[in-house]
Chains A and B, each alone.
Chain A
Amino acid sequence: MRRPAFYIDTTACTGCKACQAACKDKNDLSPGLSWRKVNEIEGGNWNTTNGVVTEKPFGYYLSISCNHCENAPCIDACPTTALHRNHDGIVVIDPLLCMGCDYCQWTCPYGALQIDPTRGIMTKCDACIDYLYEGKNPACVDACPMRVLEFGYFDTFVARKGTTSGIFPLPDPKLTSPGLVIKPHKDSSAANESNAMVNNTEIY
């Protein structure tokens, strides 16, 4: 089975959050739920040259949702088997099986699983599976005005775009083998190597 994947070009993302808004709109997500989140990463340091101190700040944006990981820990963790991989390799939830135990949320290092308090069950990105069956892209991809977000297959992206699957603040890709390929920002550090901070930790 080919691994579905997102590609993100962090060198060109402007952080407009159109992908985030399109996802919420398409999936009718209530406040507090956001299956895709644009993280604002900021960092910098001071350079001293000939006694003159200058600042060297940087910032970049990283749009992240469920990466439909090859070794998805949420699937193994789910006690009811509500979380499973469909025949297209996309990790989906059976809403009639989920008992809302929250356990999968702990196991996902990408924050992709979010409990819907009104329905009492877990929710997550399904890569707009209905759109995919109609031959369309996920809503977030088509909403991106900079065309820095793409959806396809991991092996295709790796062949065309490189092998980076993790930069700060993402976890080490070895943890879950995510379906994610990133064009890293020039100032970004490797996964698990913090040289900056995430400026927006809230979910709206």
Chain B
Amino acid sequence: MHNYFSLLFFTFTSQAAIGVILAHVVLSGTGSIPGDEDSMVRMRHLITIMLIASLATAFLHLGKPFRAVYALNNIMKSPLSMEIASLSVLLAVSLAYSWFSHRGVINYFTSTLPVLAVIAAILLLLTMTAVYYLPSVPSWHTARTPLAFVLTTISAGTAIAAIMLKESEVRQASLLLAVSVSAAILLAAVTLTAKMGTSTGRAILTGLQTVTSLMAFVLIFSRFFLTEMNKSRHMTVITGVLVLISGILARWLFFLSYDNIIL
């Protein structure tokens, strides 16, 4: 009935991009990695590419893609309109940040861009949740939907960030703060998730996403703190890819759990 593969790609890529944005801001904000380092600039370019790919997928899955110009007509009521608006704003901010980074421009305007990006990213995550939190779809109309999206954001974003930064030198003390903040968010999400649904499908989904999120943190910890693991950049990439594959699988299960109460 629905083209779930395009929706899977759209939601996963968007949420991963949001995760990378948050990782970028946390890492640069805590001084773990300087924002002007090459790997961080590359990360900003990757975020832009991911958002462009998401928006393109969102348009191409439409029956009439050229009518997407009308998509913001109902922005006060439709969660889908709000989602598209948030994604467009985030992409615009990301494009500007990438462009100024590429040109090496640093001024007051460019320093506000990360803040704007975080605000737009959180709005996108909220509106994306509202799109799927539907009373007519009982399996999605639970607190597990926002939690699943948060877990995907954290795990996929952290995994991609770790892969992108595998060559970087970090200041370990401030990184510990960055990871601790992120881990606290994850812990809160996992605790709430544990209280959700009892069906086998949801239990598997929740377990899978929790494991992938934990793997993402093990990845970043092992990457930057464990000396032996630190030498193995291949291990970083392999673990990161595994985390991403698990996240995609979890999202696929999410769409399979669609059980509209329609006749």
Contacts and interface: CB of A to CB of B under 8 A. Distances in A.
Interface stretch (A18-26, A43-51, A98-106, A142-150): A98-106
Contacts of B136: 73, 106-109, 171, 175
Contact of A99 (B68, B77, B137, B261): B68
Interface string B69-86: 011111001111100100
A170 to B, nearest CB: 8
A186 interface: no
A121 B63 contact: yes
B263 interface: yes
A69 to B, nearest CB: 11
A94 to B, nearest CB: 10
Contacts of B131: 103
A106 B135 contact: no
Contacts of B103: none
B134 A100 contact: no
Contacts of B260: 106, 109, 111
B80 A121 contact: no
Nearest to B84: A79
A102 B74 CA distance: 15
Interface string B34-75: 000000000000000000000000000111110110111110
A39 B2 CA distance: 22
Interface string A70-108: 000100111111100000000000000111111101111
Contacts of B84: 79
Contacts of B74: 76, 78-81
Given A103-B80, A109-B136, A171-B136, A80 B263 contact: no
B63 A109 contact: no
B262 interface: yes
Contact of B67 (A37, A64, A99, A107): A99
A119 B63 CA distance: 8
A110 B63 contact: no
Contact of A79 (B61, B71, B135, B261): B71
> Interface size class for chain A?
35 or more
Interface string B109-140: 00000000000000000000001001111000
A99 B135 contact: no
Contacts of B64: 98-100, 120-121
B63 A106 contact: no
Interface in B1-32: 1-3
B78 A111 contact: no
Contacts of B1: 105
B79 A77 contact: yes
A107 B134 contact: yes
Contacts of B68: 99
Contacts of B262: 108-111
B261 A171 contact: yes
B198 to A, nearest CB: 18
A80 B72 CA distance: 6
Contacts of B81: 79
Contact of B63 (A73, A81, A120): A120
Given A80-B67, A119-B63, 20 more contacts: A39-B263, A79-B72, A79-B74, A79-B80, A79-B84, A81-B70, A97-B70, A97-B73, A98-B64, A100-B62, A100-B63, A103-B78, A103-B131, A110-B263, A111-B260, A111-B262, A111-B263, A115-B63, A121-B63, A175-B136
Sorted from nearest, which 10 A-B pairs have the closest CB atoms?
A100-B63, A120-B63, A111-B262, A99-B67, A80-B70, A79-B81, A109-B136, A79-B80, A81-B73, A79-B78
28 contacts: A39-B263, A64-B263, A78-B74, A79-B73, A79-B74, A79-B81, A80-B70, A80-B73, A81-B73, A98-B63, A99-B67, A99-B68, A100-B62, A100-B67, A103-B80, A103-B131, A105-B1, A106-B137, A106-B260, A108-B262, A109-B262, A111-B260, A111-B263, A115-B63, A120-B62, A120-B64, A121-B63, A170-B263
